[in-house]
Structure 1
């Protein structure tokens, strides 16, 4: 059995995929970025003549966590149900300390497995994206 999950409480996917898919007791979230639901704005991004000149990793981290929570709740899951989190950062050296501090604030009770990767780019001008798996009841 497989169910797809979509919600207006999270930003629309940037491609042909659902926010999440439930298979049995596992919920697989598609990559979740920090775009603001409804507007697609990216918190903390500063542009000059259409070119990204700076960003705020703290603002993006808080928003991506809010977006993950929205997808979880749309599927009937909770933050504490997360069992695995893969994080993609476009500037590991600059952003990891701030991201890691915020991660520790948000994951006080829940302690999912975590992998953090430094990558060169994401499909939109974001600095962070999460890929998550949750274990949920029937």
Structure 2
């Protein structure tokens, strides 16, 4: 999930550049952030265990874009669960479960827009999903 509040602290030293300026460089990518963004388009399928590869395709498109621009991407994945974050992880799991129940309720009531929003909040990017991307990449 990243480091809370990090980007505002770095804002004063950040400089926008064009990707081509990184030609010949290696860049590290927070791969879970890409997986989360990619999963938004197929959240219903992921939550219901239906087959989909859109989240993987999203990530690979970005990998290929970097490669096309001469940049070598290094995909960085989160490590294992930290005991000190156990309570936070439990809270996130409860929130995902609640959102999944809401999504199913909205969907059965015919409110696909509300269901879509809840499915997006119910996604769990598990190590199995990360492994799918590792196999493809």
TM-score if structure 1 supplies the norm length?
0.33
Choose between structure 1 and 2: higher strand proportion.
Answer: 1
Tell which structure's C-alpha radius of gyration is larger.
2
TM-score by length of 2: 0.33
Q: Which has the higher helix share?
A: 2
